[in-house]
Amino acid sequence: MIDIQQATEIVLSRVRSFGTEQLPLAECSGRVLRQDIRADRDFPPYTQVRMDGIAIQWAAYEAGQRAFPVEGTQAAGSPQQRLQNPEACLEVMTGAVLPEGTDTVIRYEDVDIRDGQAQLLPEAKVKARQNAHLQGLDRQEGSLIVKAGAVLSPAEIGVAATVGLPTLSVAKMPSAVIVSTGDELVEVHEQPAPHQIRSSNSYTIQMALARWGVKADRLHIDDELEATKRELGRCIEQYDIILLSGGVSKGKFDYVPEALEALGVQKHFHKVKQRPGKPFWFGDVEGKCTVFALPGNPVSSFMCTQRYVHPWLRQCLGLSPMPYARAVLTEDFHFRADLTYFLQVKTRYDEQTGQLLARPVEGKGSGDLANLVDADAFLELPRGKEAFAKGEVFPLLFYR
Amino acid sequence: MIDIQQATEIVLSRVRSFGTEQLPLAECSGRVLRQDIRADRDFPPYTQVRMDGIAIQWAAYEAGQRAFPVEGTQAAGSPQQRLQNPEACLEVMTGAVLPEGTDTVIRYEDVDIRDGQAQLLPEAKVKARQNAHLQGLDRQEGSLIVKAGAVLSPAEIGVAATVGLPTLSVAKMPSAVIVSTGDELVEVHEQPAPHQIRSSNSYTIQMALARWGVKADRLHIDDELEATKRELGRCIEQYDIILLSGGVSKGKFDYVPEALEALGVQKHFHKVKQRPGKPFWFGDVEGKCTVFALPGNPVSSFMCTQRYVHPWLRQCLGLSPMPYARAVLTEDFHFRADLTYFLQVKTRYDEQTGQLLARPVEGKGSGDLANLVDADAFLELPRGKEAFAKGEVFPLLFYR
């Protein structure tokens, strides 16, 4: 049995690319960029008026002038005008090109315009070149603004629009299927017999993947070796990832490892020193299909999805490892087994210190799906330690 | 001019409901639940085997018995069996019903099964009722598991599946339109003239809304009073929310406030003591359409969307105010104007203390869209203070 560090290393060493696709801007949110975004022009592309008011030549103001005849109006979206008389002014609108022959903008609040004359108010404070945003000040033409590999948030998509990219080259997401096993399972719309329960893991995992941008199908396979082989064989051909839930323990009808090995899926490990999630099985058909065979308990399969599948997906997409949050345990906690313990916690920020606090919400074990509703994260308590003290800081896995 | 607390109070006092809809489970992620989810049966619904192995009667073990004839196998998904001979055992599989007449499960790792006889290994440790998860231990039939008003994450959706709800009643999301104004703007696929720039705010805002579950249309209106009135009039009839970007300053062609007032939109405020985002205008047609008229600068409109539109939306959906993150300023910072300053920062967790650290990434002002790419949050520096010291903790608005 390996520990979580080894399991993590192995999972992250088995990464693959799923290719690249070109998508319209409005569909790119959350995707990983596969091209650089450069400034096609200076940012801003012209010296830009940043206040509504009048544009003057600073030299005139410096020489003591406080009243300026108005020559006209420079609207936003109009070609650049030119100040004819260096002692006059032009009215200018936010977003407009600063008129030629002017360098300073005085806002309307500081002037009184009457009969074609703009008179500065006595209290007006004017600084040279104020309210004029110089061409190229933010970024210069050709400069790199968003590097290939970035995750596209609203800000990056705004930048892409600005530089004239209606579509972007982004990393393709893997195709995925979530396979539930276990003859005790019935579908959500069915009435279970007294010895049956409804399938829920496949929904939980499907929704978790959806948040990471992976659309996954759902499939149920009965506890029968031939059916398991046949259906998994089809999945290997059809999908980039298979996530199984259940069928990996020591049970007589746990056919998953046997079927996977018969189908040529290379096993990289089976069982990890962790609770929940000990029976976790991981393997792949190199370059073709990656298989996460997770334990059937709802908390186990959910935790493994967050702790292993998500980092693997990020690595496949070329993203740096997830910045691990860290949180302060708010109560003493004991855990004796020689396993890494993923403690369910409810978090909040401390108002004084800005620290993230994690309060244990332990639940009744790995089958207690309902407890996940009351918590919002797993606190990762290291193996080889029994007592975890109030005030100690541990890595945290948010799942909301 | 009001301050950000007043602005927030006013915005949050103008909330509305957008109704309720019934959605299939797979479409419910991120939505707000409008019904209670109760346990339709006990959790678990039967006393459940939690390890693959043999089920025995504890009394037999206690009396010293260490070998048990195997009567048969209780598979998961099969009706409950009954142990005939109280000194025998049944093989049992994880997820199965615990057989009648048994109360304790010994895992396969601790027994040697040969010729129909299960012999306990000498080192096996057995506790009464181990590995049997009692019916109703996690939750009892009829108990409330997820309250109306909760945000549906993968965990809640798993619970809904378990209790047999293939669809859920959830809060309807508002219909929205993002309106850009400003004659200097051209579309993303167009080549701007030297005095023009491409429209980007409407994309940035559209993507931000999409993350909160709001699908928004985009529309551009020219700087012309009649067109502005006509188009905004149509939007008021058609949408629950209008987000405008630009047209709210003091410019000659800033027709937005005038057009909105002419259309019967009640103004609740215009201008807030904040940077960026001072010219922010807010109003509504009660119970029909809410209008956020944001300044045209990209950083301003983005910040206001995060700081006002998102909390308003949460309040409309009946969610509690967003738990504000708090972060530690990592450098001394000065800001003189009597305005709340939303400082762009890049955050990371301190490994030792678990504190969230915020490093200023200031940029070149509210027009510097590219700077948003380098930062990941706004640190809210209060008004009425000029010096902000390294080590002080302030509220933080994440935007990624």
For B254-302, what is each residue's pLDDT tens digit?
899 999 999 999 999 999 999 999 999 999 999 999 999 999 899 999 9
Q: Are strands A340-349 and A377-381 parallel, antiparallel or unpaired?
A: antiparallel
* Helices vs. strands in chain A: H and E counts, helices first: 9, 28
- Domains contained in chain B, CATH given: 4-18+173-316 (3.40.980.10), 20-43+138-171 (3.90.105.10), 48-133 (2.170.190.11), 325-398 (2.40.340.10)
Put simply, the answer to whether B298 touches A150 (Cβ < 8 Å) is no
Give me the sheet containing A104-107, strands edge to edge: A104-107, A53-56, A89-92, A67-74, A117-120, A111-114
Residue type, position A237, single letter: E
Give me the sheet containing B111-114, strands edge to edge: B104-107, B53-56, B89-92, B67-74, B117-120, B111-114
Q: Are strands B340-349 and B274-275 parallel, antiparallel or unpaired?
A: parallel
Position A331 scores a pLDDT of 97
Position B344 scores a pLDDT of 97
Put simply, the answer to whether B199 touches A325 (Cβ < 8 Å) is no
The answer to whether the peptide bond before residue B276 is cis (omega within 30 degrees of 0) is: yes
Q: Quickly state the pLDDT bin for B365 (edges 50, 70, 90).
A: confident
Between CA A87 and CA A96, with CA A93 as vertex, the angle to 5 degrees is 95
**CA-CA distance, B133 to B48, in Å (whole number)?**
5
Chain B: give the shortest CA distance to residue A136, in Å.
11
Chain A residue closest to B279 (CA)?
A51
Q: Which residues of A touch B400 (CB under 8 A)?
A: 151, 153
Put simply, the answer to whether B195 touches A348 (Cβ < 8 Å) is no
Comparing CB atoms, the residue among B133, B183, B350 nearest residue A75 is: B183
Put simply, the answer to whether A109 touches B250 (Cβ < 8 Å) is yes
**CA-CA distance, A190 to A227, in Å (whole number)?**
22
Put simply, the answer to whether A348 touches B157 (Cβ < 8 Å) is no
**CA-CA distance, A226 to A3, in Å (whole number)?**
32
The partner residues of B186 in beta bridges, in order of sequence, read B198
Put simply, the answer to whether B368 touches A43 (Cβ < 8 Å) is yes
**CA-CA distance, A157 to A25, in Å (whole number)?**
7
Chain centroid offset of residue B98 CA: 39
**CA-CA distance, B107 to B92, in Å (whole number)?**
9
Position B254 scores a pLDDT of 87
Chain A: give the shortest CA distance to residue B326, in Å.
5
Put simply, the answer to whether A210 touches B29 (Cβ < 8 Å) is yes
Chain A: give the shortest CA distance to residue B369, in Å.
7
Position B27 scores a pLDDT of 96
Put simply, the answer to whether B80 touches A194 (Cβ < 8 Å) is yes
**CA-CA distance, A165 to A37, in Å (whole number)?**
9
Put simply, the answer to whether B194 touches A369 (Cβ < 8 Å) is no
Position B198 scores a pLDDT of 96
Put simply, the answer to whether B354 touches A79 (Cβ < 8 Å) is no
Copy the structure tokens of residue B208: 């931000």
DSSP-derived 3-state class of residue B79: coil
Put simply, the answer to whether A203 touches B161 (Cβ < 8 Å) is yes
Chain B: give the shortest CA distance to residue A346, in Å.
13
Copy the structure tokens of residue A246: 């259940």
Comparing CB atoms, the residue among A249, A363, A364 nearest residue B52 is: A249
How many beta-carbon pairs below 8 A join chains A and B? 342
Q: Quickly state the pLDDT bin for B304 (edges 50, 70, 90).
A: very high
Put simply, the answer to whether B182 touches A77 (Cβ < 8 Å) is yes
Average confidence (pLDDT) over B323-328: 86
Under 8 Å CB-to-CB from B230, ≥6 apart: which residues?
Answer: none
Chain A: give the shortest CA distance to residue B185, in Å.
7
DSSP state for residue B166 in the 8-state scheme: S
**CA-CA distance, B268 to B254, in Å (whole number)?**
18
Chain A residue closest to B303 (CA)?
A155
Position A335 scores a pLDDT of 94
Position A173 scores a pLDDT of 98
Q: Which secondary structure element, helix H or strand E, spans residue A379, and what is its range?
A: strand A377-381
By CB atoms closer than 10 A (0-12, 13-18, 19+), residue B2 is middle
Under 8 Å CB-to-CB from B291, ≥6 apart: which residues?
Answer: B236, B241, B242, B244, B260, B265, B281, B282, B283, B284
DSSP-derived 3-state class of residue B45: coil
Comparing CB atoms, the residue among B192, B193, B373 nearest residue A146 is: B373
Nearest to B102 by CA among B65, B59, B151: B59
Copy the structure tokens of residue A289: 């299909």
**CA-CA distance, B68 to B54, in Å (whole number)?**
9
Comparing CB atoms, the residue among A108, A154, A353 nearest residue B208 is: A154
Put simply, the answer to whether B29 touches A211 (Cβ < 8 Å) is yes
First-last CA distance in chain A = 30
Q: Which residues of A touch B160 (CB under 8 A)?
A: 188, 203
The partner residues of B220 in beta bridges, in order of sequence, read B180
Chain centroid offset of residue B241 CA: 20
Position B117 scores a pLDDT of 97
Q: Quickly state the pLDDT bin for B82 (edges 50, 70, 90).
A: very high
Position B250 scores a pLDDT of 82
pLDDT above 80 (res B354): no
Put simply, the answer to whether A44 touches B324 (Cβ < 8 Å) is no
Comparing CB atoms, the residue among B77, B138, B200 nearest residue A367 is: B138
Position B355 scores a pLDDT of 85
Does residue A155 contact residue A222 with C-beta atoms inside 8 Å? no
Write the DSSP string, A244-304: EES--SS-TT--HHHHHHHTTPEEEEE-BSEES-TT-EEEEETTTEEEEEE-SSHHHHHHH
**CA-CA distance, B228 to B254, in Å (whole number)?**
10
Write the DSSP string, A292-307: EEE-SSHHHHHHHIII
The string of pLDDT tens digits covering residues A54-105 is 999 999 999 999 999 999 999 999 999 999 999 999 999 999 999 999 999 9
Chain centroid offset of residue A342 CA: 23
For helices B201-211 and A154-162, what crossing angle results, to 10°?
160
DSSP-derived 3-state class of residue A200: coil
Position A171 scores a pLDDT of 98
ipTM, interface predicted TM-score of the complex: 0.90
Q: Is the pTM above the cut of 0.95?
A: no
**CA-CA distance, A167 to A149, in Å (whole number)?**
16
Does residue A221 contact residue A258 with C-beta atoms inside 8 Å? no
**CA-CA distance, A11 to A281, in Å (whole number)?**
11
Position A362 scores a pLDDT of 85
User: Mean pLDDT in chain B?
Assistant: 95
Residue type, position A224, single letter: E
Q: Which residues of A touch B346 (CB under 8 A)?
A: none
Does residue A20 contact residue A169 with C-beta atoms inside 8 Å? yes
Comparing CB atoms, the residue among A77, A191, A349 nearest residue B184 is: A77
Comparing CB atoms, the residue among A145, A161, A348 nearest residue B203 is: A161
The string of pLDDT tens digits covering residues B100-158 is 999 999 999 999 999 999 999 999 999 999 999 999 999 999 999 999 999 999 999 99
| Interface with B, mutate which of A31, A152, A187, A249 (most B CBs under 10 A) | A249
Comparing CB atoms, the residue among A80, A91, A355 nearest residue B195 is: A80
Chain A: give the shortest CA distance to residue B371, in Å.
8
Position B362 scores a pLDDT of 85
Position A390 scores a pLDDT of 97
Stretches where chain A sits below pLDDT 70 are none
Put simply, the answer to whether A138 touches B326 (Cβ < 8 Å) is no
Chain B: give the shortest CA distance to residue A43, in Å.
8
Write the DSSP string, A127-183: -TTTTEE-TTSSB-TT-EEE-TT-B--HHHHHHHHHTT-SEEEEEPPPPEEEEEE-T
Does residue A399 contact residue B154 with C-beta atoms inside 8 Å? yes
